Structure 1
Amino acid sequence: MSTDNKAIRISAVGDISLGDHPVCVGHGMRSTFSKLGFRVLEEISRCFDNADTVIANLETVTSDLGLKPRKLASFEMRGNPEHLSFLRQAGIDVLCVANNHAMQHGEAAFWDTVSNVRDAGMDVIGLESQGRTNVHAISHGSVESHIFNVSMRPEEWAKDKTNLPYSNRQDRENLFAEVKRLRASCTGFLICSIHWGLEFLDYPSPSQVEIGRALIDAGVDVVLGHHSHVVQPVERYKQGVIFYSLGNFVFDLWSESTKQTLVAQVELEPGQRPKYSWVPIVIDKDFRLRIADQATKASVDSLLSWERFEKMENKPSTDEEYVERYKSEELRFRYSSYRYFLKNIIRYPPDFLFQSLARTAYRRLTGT
């Protein structure tokens, strides 16, 4: 897109799932959009009114290609392509597809998702092309700014992990070299949307801080992180800005920490450091997005505070310590999923309920 104003305004949000989470099958996001439609997003859509471009991370395959409607593994974490129109109606312009769920339902469904997003009127970034990720270009004045998307999460679903259709980056030095090439071909601002880190911790790991700052040093102006499902701090580093995690946006997780989120707003003007602000948002009990009340606003503001992170007591000093913290949070999340499942057991379609119980029993017996 283009704008006559030399300054550009980017709004960004975190993870979007249009499918039902395995623990919410039958009443998760796909089911909610089928029932409520655009009302899921209606209240917060005005937060995008002043943005030139709105970017989000599409965390689930959104394709019915290969769908077996009564098979749990085929149905879970799979969005209805028709529901993409609600994202566009809300004002979202660009969706990122480089993440650890991209290949969950196979490569054909991945490419069908890309086609469906474009048919809905949105651009797609995070696609691999000859060792380089694609970009979304924004022309403003005499310059052109670029937004790109990569994932640093290990690939979980594809058998062939060497020829992925999305931009997976496991080697940080190669990533930094790629960023320098992107910087050299970009006359305006360079924005990086990155899927990284571990889940459920409301602060970044030591290596994330290193990588985030190195991205700025390599030429990125704004880093927009996601994957943790919870909000993490924003850091002003040199001339750049790093949002370590924007948390969830449209998602059917159940814990309170995963329901607190934000719309990040960044203003970029040539010759100036990026300006940034945010609008605190809450995911309601029915998964509708609301402007946060004062208590939630205070919590989101605190989570985004770099000062809070710097003053943390017993802050992990190594990635190994950070992983141990994650294991504890992951175990807590798993037990909370059992409680949620039992509390909502009557909401599950019988076929899916039986399959879910059988799969849980199998995993407990085999340790997988």
Structure 2
Amino acid sequence: MVSINFVGDIALFKIFEEKGIDPFKEVNLPQSDYNIGNFEFTIPNNREKHFFDVSGNYRTSYNFLKELQLNKFDAFSLANNHCMDYGAAGCKDVMSVLNQKKIDHFGFGKKNFNLLTITIKGVSFAVIAFVKQGRWNRNQDQKVGPDSYQVNEIIDEIERLKQTHNHVIVFPHWGTELVDVPDPKDVTNARAFIDCGATAVIGHHPHIIQGIENYNNGLIAYSLGSFVYVPEKEVGYSILQGESRNYSICLNLKFNSKSIIEFESFIYKYCKNSHIPKEIDKTEVEEYLNKINKNINQVGSYSKRVREQLLIREVKSFVHRFKDSPIKTIIHYFKYIKFSHIKKLIK
């Protein structure tokens, strides 16, 4: 039997360095053979920011990064919407530190897909990470970047990998921030990934827990929430976002060579005083967890939650950006807001 822990976003806010906190040292994980998380922020070595609106709160110094006990984790995905905040060179700076500490990384490179392939106790795994489309994707100027959410390519890759690995795990950075109902398109695609051979689909990015379901002998966790994260330092944060964003899941999966034989969701709660997630008794939030599991198939609930939560945050974010750089902010929103975003609000 092989045991692997999965957590969501790990974001090294500046406040950790200001207070001398090593979140990796302080956090406690369930016992396992291997730990995987999403490395959310780029920590560059003296690089200029690549996008005009990158917050100075979203990074520690490079020297501080090198001193952290990153080895609490065995592998990090780099496929997320912040990986290009300081260009490809900034992400390579992070990769250099991980290489020095002999920590695996995946989801970032010259082309789809930069995989994590491991064998533990004779059981082989391939892990695919990717991020939805945005300004962080590879382009003519940036030849290197995160692996991309291209459904047909992902399905082809799962089918190929399944021929040579016991398990294929999909670890996507997707969904809608602050919305505890998965995007209906992600539900459809997650099930398609299981249908074509993936053992599990384990998502992150929304900064909030979304539901978990068993599907066709596989497991889908749509969002684990943010694991190491300081929400009050986030651009657009409001106390109106509620208590639910303080919870996250460490998902422990136990495998044999053929399937998942057991899984357990360990619930963590963000402690505002220490800025560290602490494990809690999940019976404290059992009613909430049952509710979000039921919401998986409620398409109407998704648009309602987008209107209730995301719209407020985006207005606050717009005001924050506009104060710093009015023209660039207007250009940014006109460039990246699509009709699909409007549809999410009015359905």
Using the size of structure 2 for normalisation, the TM-score is: 0.80
**Gaps spanning 5+ residues in structure 2: where?**
233-240, 334-347
* CA distance 1:235–1:306, change in 2 (3 Å): farther
For residue 155 of structure 2, the aligned residue among 176, 179, 188 is 176
* CA distance 1:287–1:98, change in 2 (3 Å): farther
CA deviation profile, 1:273-293 (whole Å, cap 9, x unmatched):
441112111111135224345
Tell me the residue number matched to 2:341. Answer: none
Tell me the residue number matched to 2:36. Answer: 55
Tell me the residue number matched to 1:225. Answer: 203
Tell me the residue number matched to 2:324. Answer: 359
CA shift, 1:316, in A, is: 1.9
Report the number of matched residues.
321
Is it true that 1:283 corresponds to 2:270 in the alignment?
Answer: yes
Residue identity over aligned pairs, in percent, reads: 22
Tell me the residue number matched to 1:268. Answer: 255
* CA distance 1:338–1:210, change in 2 (3 Å): closer
Alignment of 1:218-367 (within 5 A): 218-254=196-232, 255=241, 256-286=243-273, 288-293=275-280, 298-299=284-285, 302-303=288-289, 307-309=293-295, 315-316=298-299, 322=302, 325-334=305-314, 358-359=323-324
Q: Take 2:184 and 2:192, find their aligned partners in 1: how far apart are those partners?
A: 12
Q: Take 2:332 and 2:109, find their aligned partners in 1: how far apart are those partners?
A: 35
Residue 133 of structure 1 aligns to a residue in which SS?
A: coil
* CA distance 1:153–1:301, change in 2 (3 Å): farther
Q: Take 2:295 and 2:221, find their aligned partners in 1: how far apart are those partners?
A: 13
- Matched-pair contact (CA < 8 Å) for 2:127–2:171: yes
- Amino acid in structure 1 at the alignment position of 2:68: F
CA deviation profile, 1:192-228 (whole Å, cap 9, x unmatched):
2111121111021211111111111121111110111
- Matched-pair contact (CA < 8 Å) for 2:42–2:59: yes
- Matched-pair contact (CA < 8 Å) for 2:137–2:145: no
- Matched-pair contact (CA < 8 Å) for 1:61–1:79: no
Q: Take 1:367 and 1:122, find their aligned partners in 2: how far apart are those partners?
A: 35
Residue 75 of structure 1 aligns to a residue in which SS?
A: coil
* CA distance 1:60–1:301, change in 2 (3 Å): farther
Tell me the residue number matched to 1:347. Answer: none
CA shift, 1:244, in A, is: 0.4
Is it true that 1:208 corresponds to 2:186 in the alignment?
Answer: yes
- Amino acid in structure 2 at the alignment position of 1:298: E
Is it true that 1:32 corresponds to 2:3 in the alignment?
Answer: no
- Matched-pair contact (CA < 8 Å) for 1:37–1:83: no
Residue 250 of structure 2 aligns to a residue in which SS?
A: strand
Tell me the residue number matched to 1:86. Answer: 68
Query: Root-mean-square deviation (CA), in Å?
Result: 3.2
Is it true that 1:160 corresponds to 2:164 in the alignment?
Answer: no
* CA distance 1:364–1:78, change in 2 (3 Å): closer
- Amino acid in structure 1 at the alignment position of 2:80: N
CA shift, 1:154, in A, is: 2.6
- Matched-pair contact (CA < 8 Å) for 1:221–1:274: no
* CA distance 1:102–1:307, change in 2 (3 Å): closer
- Matched-pair contact (CA < 8 Å) for 1:233–1:303: yes
CA shift, 1:157, in A, is: 7.0
Residue 21 of structure 2 aligns to a residue in which SS?
A: helix
Q: Take 2:197 and 2:66, find their aligned partners in 1: how far apart are those partners?
A: 32
- Matched-pair contact (CA < 8 Å) for 1:57–1:96: yes
- Amino acid in structure 1 at the alignment position of 2:128: F
Q: Take 1:161 and 1:179, find their aligned partners in 2: how far apart are those partners?
A: 29
CA shift, 1:34, in A, is: 4.0
Residue 73 of structure 2 aligns to a residue in which SS?
A: coil
- Matched-pair contact (CA < 8 Å) for 2:253–2:260: no
- Matched-pair contact (CA < 8 Å) for 1:251–1:287: no
Q: Take 1:100 and 1:367, find their aligned partners in 2: how far apart are those partners?
A: 15
Tell me the residue number matched to 1:346. Answer: none
* CA distance 1:301–1:195, change in 2 (3 Å): farther
- Amino acid in structure 2 at the alignment position of 1:303: L
Q: Take 1:135 and 1:365, find their aligned partners in 2: how far apart are those partners?
A: 39
- Amino acid in structure 2 at the alignment position of 1:147: V
- Matched-pair contact (CA < 8 Å) for 2:131–2:147: yes
Is it true that 1:191 corresponds to 2:165 in the alignment?
Answer: no
Tell me the residue number matched to 1:25. Answer: none
* CA distance 1:358–1:268, change in 2 (3 Å): same
Residue 108 of structure 1 aligns to a residue in which SS?
A: helix
* CA distance 1:217–1:163, change in 2 (3 Å): farther
Deviates more, 1:248-257 or 1:225-234: 248-257
Deviates more, 1:156-165 or 1:29-38: 156-165
* CA distance 1:161–1:139, change in 2 (3 Å): farther
- Matched-pair contact (CA < 8 Å) for 1:133–1:167: yes
CA deviation profile, 1:293-319 (whole Å, cap 9, x unmatched):
55x753366336665225x8xx325xx
Deviates more, 1:152-161 or 1:229-238: 152-161
